[in-house]
Structures are given as C-alpha cells and as structure tokens.
Structure 1
C-alpha cells in the first residue's frame, strides 16, 4: 500500500514539474517583465496576434516573437516603448516576395549555377524603406546575404554566417548634415539603409525609381554617388562596350558622380578581371576589379 502511494506521489510530482516547465515557456528568457510602455506600443502596432513570447537582446531591446499572416515575426522595442524594427521570416518562399524583388533576384548569378535559397527575411524599420535579405548557399562556396530594395535592386552583397539577427541595424542615427544634403540634392528620396565606418558614411536610397549609394567622409562631406543602372544602360554605352568587348556580358553597371566633377559609367563584365570606366560619350578606360 505504501509502495503504491509512493508511486502515485512520484508521478504527481513529475506531472507537476512538467506543467511548470511548459508554462514557463511563455515567460521571458531572462525572467524580466515587459514594461507597460512596451506592451502598450506592441498592442497598438500589432493588436491581438495570439501567443507572444518576449526575449531580451543585447542593448536592452525587448523582442516580441509571434505569428502574423502565417509568418514568424520578431518585433524590436526599446524599454521606453519605441518600435525600432521588425523581422518577418519568409523561410524560402521566393514567390511570396514582391514581383520586383523576384525579378531582381532572378537576374543575379545566384538564381542559377547551383545556388539555393536558404532563408528570406523582410526588414521593416521606422524612417527607412522596407528591404529583403535573401540568404543563398552553394556547396563548396561561402554563403551570401543578398539585400534587395523594393525596386528589386541588389544594393548589398555580403558573405554571411547565417543564423543571426539584424540588431546591428538599430540605432544608426543619421547626422543632420547628411539628411540636409539628401533633402537638397535628392528630393523625395527614400532611405533604405545607413551605415557608418572608420572611413565615413554610406547611405542607400531610392530616388527617381533607382537605387543610389551616397558616400560621405567623416566630416559629412559628399564624396560620390553611385546609381544602379544595370537594367537601364543607355544604348550608346552598351554599344560602345559591345564594340570593344564582343561576346562579353555586362554583369553590373553603375553611374558614378564624384565631388571632383567626374561622371562616368562603371561596368563589370562577366568573367573579366577589370572594370570599365565609360564616359558619357562612350570612351572606355579600364580599372582594377576589386
């Protein structure tokens, strides 16, 4: 009789421990409570989305993990309740992306030659245009993260490690001097991304339907602007390249404008170890392909 009672008691304890463990999955990983300001901000932006799990990331950000529209979302907030970013996981579903992004990816070398899509994320941030990151992999090659704007332009190509998040894209406040320059020179431009390193600043924008990369030095002085022209190469430029390099395919084309007054097309030919500098009147010189 005592043996049976002991067995029952052991089973009850085990079941109770299981219940406690299962319920604890809904708590924050670090045991912290979600501040009221964060909860109010989340409810205001996303409403009733069902189950939400909260986590705390480096820098003190609180991240809500939930499903919406049948996709996994990670929404980032400051402790004061400011929404700063949302990551939407598309898994590998290229067909769910905007048509322009699908076309942009299809035009890259990664859409063929043994490369496969490993993951797709949509990145939303206040004051920035939404963009998409397509992670690709190929046996014997490093993985790459391909960044596309809403126009389908591949504006960044990084060797990736996979499995991380985009927390390093938060908190990159753009200096007022750079904002003023963009407002004055690229009226109506939509900022896609902003980065700073030891050499200066890089701003990715969409302007007049094209993707542009604007570079500044550490003192906010404009250095150059590179406009992606790969899908819109002027006929005389294409003809000049084809005449000098028959049979070569143009892999990439950017229109460069510099603070020194230079204006030219920088063209990358497929399987060619130099880039071409082509002036607006079709004169060609070569430059090392880095």
Structure 2
C-alpha cells in the first residue's frame, strides 16, 4: 500500500511541475530569456496567482528569479557563502544567532534596486529563514 501511495505522489508531483512549466505565460518566458541568456535547466513554479519563479543554472551556479504574470522581473536570488555577506550582516546574524549553523545563504536583488540577504538555519526539523538589509538590520524572520 505504501508503494502505491508513493507512486501516486510521484505522479502528482511530476504532473504539477509539467503543468506549471506549460502554463507559464509567454511574456514571462520571453522576459526571462532576455534577462538570463544562456540559462539552462530552467524549471518554472507558480508562486501565486500573479507570480512565477524560475529555478535555473546560470554562469555555473543555481539561481532563482521571480517575474509577475506580465513579464516584469521582480527579484533574483543568487547563492553566496556566509563569508561573502557584508560584515554588518555577519555581525548582526552572529549576535542574535550565536552557535547556529547556516544551511544556505543567498543574495537577493530586487527590481526596486534593493539588495537583501537571506540566511537559512536548520532548527530541529525545520528550516528558518532570516532576511537582512545590507546594513545588518533584520527585515523579516
């Protein structure tokens, strides 16, 4: 019975991924291709009613980018190391999360010209995300 459940779940996941890929508006894919030429392994997900997220490889790294349904670029998330964070962000994180081990770190550039930093931490069975601006002020947890 468990095998049947897992097979059905795998099918549902594959179907919804294919569905999201095929339902991405042309304006979104066109804008994506213009902003990220030569991106590979592109996978689309629908974030909400008016936003799409592409996960892809670009310039040798995994990235993600969000676009609204008319093709307007909203943000790009790029992986970085903890040591690549601005000193103020590292200091703020270490002050409030001493001893925590980071899972992933990313730089987020927005269409509004803002740069944010995301630090993911494993806490028990869940992952918690912390967002900072370049001055080290926490934006949201």
So what's the TM-score if we normalise by structure 2?
0.69
Instruction: Give 1:127-276 correspondences, 5 Å limit.
Output: 162-164=6-8, 165=11, 166-171=14-19, 172-173=21-22, 174-196=24-46, 197-229=48-80, 231=81, 233-234=83-84, 236-237=86-87, 239-241=90-92, 243-244=94-95, 245-271=97-123, 275-276=130-131
Higher relative contact order (CA 8 A, sep 6+): 2
Aligned mates of 2:100, 2:133 — CA distance in 1: 15
RMSD: 3.0
Structure 1 or 2: more strand by fraction = 2
Residue ranges of structure 2 left out of the alignment (5+ in a row): none
Which residue pairs with 1:277 in the alignment?
132
Larger radius of gyration: 1
- Per the TM alignment, residue 259 of structure 1 is displaced from its structure 2 partner at its CA by 1.1
Label 1:260 to 1:227 Cα distance change in 2 as closer, same or farther (>3 A).
same
Residue ranges of structure 1 left out of the alignment (5+ in a row): 1-118, 120-160
Instruction: Give 1:106-117 correspondences, 5 Å limit.
Output: none
- Per the TM alignment, residue 288 of structure 1 is displaced from its structure 2 partner at its CA by 3.6
- SS, match of residue 261 in structure 1: coil
Instruction: Give 1:96-115 correspondences, 5 Å limit.
Output: none
- What are the superposed Cα offsets for residues 93-136 of structure 1, whole Å, 9 maximum, x if unpaired? xxxxxxxxxxxxxxxxxxxxxxxxxx9xxxxxxxxxxxxxxxxx
Give the count of matched residue pairs. 126
